[in-house]
């Protein structure tokens, strides 16, 4: 009987801890209108880095460090531009459409099972429109620290965030799509 009580007690404790994490993550997301960060991106072993600014809903600007390359979304289209190339996609056809949609993330997190990885990260796996997105949160701060997606070419892309600054003043022209060369 005592064993049964202990099992029940620890089950409740663990469930409450996960619910607390979920509630705090959702509160953090609700209180974030924008954030800027440094990133490191690994696409099938190819590492790139730079800095990004995200403004909800659905806007992002990323400048890559070693290449003259930018990634910009104005909320409707996504442009990836470098010296030698220019690609434009409807945002809704990319996994970033879901990552940049705070309301979508909050609604999904309410119903998803959290997975704790190495006692360092909380991972939520979202499957939507046949796309899988893993979203990672720091286990201590409960702030967004990265995501893993399949890009438009079906490459696995892991993006990790650092040096995050939230709710800064941002110039709206930052999210203006660059012109094609």
Is the distance from CB of 51 to CB of 36 less than 8 angstroms? yes
* 3-state SS class at 73: strand
- Average of per-residue pLDDT across 126-144: 91
Mean model confidence pLDDT for the chain: 88
Number of folded domains that form the chain: 1
More confident residue, 10 or 175: 175
Q: Is the pLDDT of residue 19 over 90?
A: no
- Quote the pLDDT of residue 104: 95
The contacts of residue 58 (CB under 8 Å, 6+ apart) are 73, 75, 76, 91, 97, 100, 101
Beta-strand pair 156-166/59-64: unpaired
Scan for tokens 């990634």, then name that residue: 71
- Does 7 reside within a domain? no
Instruction: Look at residue 151 and tell me if it is in a domain.
Output: yes
Alpha-carbon distances, residue 110 vs 26, 54, 80, 122 (angstroms): 8, 22, 32, 14
Q: Do the domain assignments include residue 9?
A: no
Q: Would you say residue 108 lies in a domain?
A: yes
pLDDT score for 180 = 86
Coil, strand or helix: which one is 41? strand
Tell me, what's the pLDDT at 86?
95
pLDDT in tens, 49-101: 999 999 999 999 999 998 789 999 999 999 999 989 999 999 998 899 999 99
* CATH number of the domain that residue 127 is part of: 2.50.20.10
Local confidence band at 126 (pLDDT 50, 70, 90 cut-offs): very high
pLDDT at 108 over 60: yes
- Say whether pLDDT at 161 is over 50: yes
pLDDT above 80 (res 29) = yes
Considering the domain boundaries, does residue 6 fall inside one?
A: no
In a domain, 40, yes or no: yes
pLDDT recorded at residue 18: 54
Q: Is residue 4 part of a domain?
A: no
State which residues form the domain around 70: 21-175
């Amino acid at each position: 009987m005592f064993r049964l009580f202990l099992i029940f007690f620890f089950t409740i404790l663990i469930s409450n801890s996960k619910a607390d994490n979920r509630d705090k993550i959702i509160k953090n997301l609700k209180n974030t209108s924008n954030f800027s960060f440094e990133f490191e991106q690994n696409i099938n072993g190819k590492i790139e880095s730079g800095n990004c600014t995200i403004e909800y809903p659905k806007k992002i600007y990323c400048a890559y460090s070693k290449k003259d390359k930018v990634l910009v979304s104005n909320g409707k289209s996504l442009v990836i531009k470098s010296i030698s190339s220019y690609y434009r996609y409807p945002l809704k056809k990319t996994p970033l459409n879901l990552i940049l949609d705070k309301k979508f993330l909050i609604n999904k997190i309410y119903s998803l099972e959290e997975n704790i990885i190495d006692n360092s990260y909380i991972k939520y796996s979202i499957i939507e429109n046949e796309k899988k997105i893993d979203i990672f949160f720091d286990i201590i701060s409960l702030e967004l620290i990265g995501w893993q997606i399949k890009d438009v070419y079906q490459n696995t892309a892991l993006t990790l965030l650092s040096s995050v600054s939230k709710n800064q003043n941002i110039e709206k022209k930052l999210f203006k799509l660059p012109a094609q060369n």
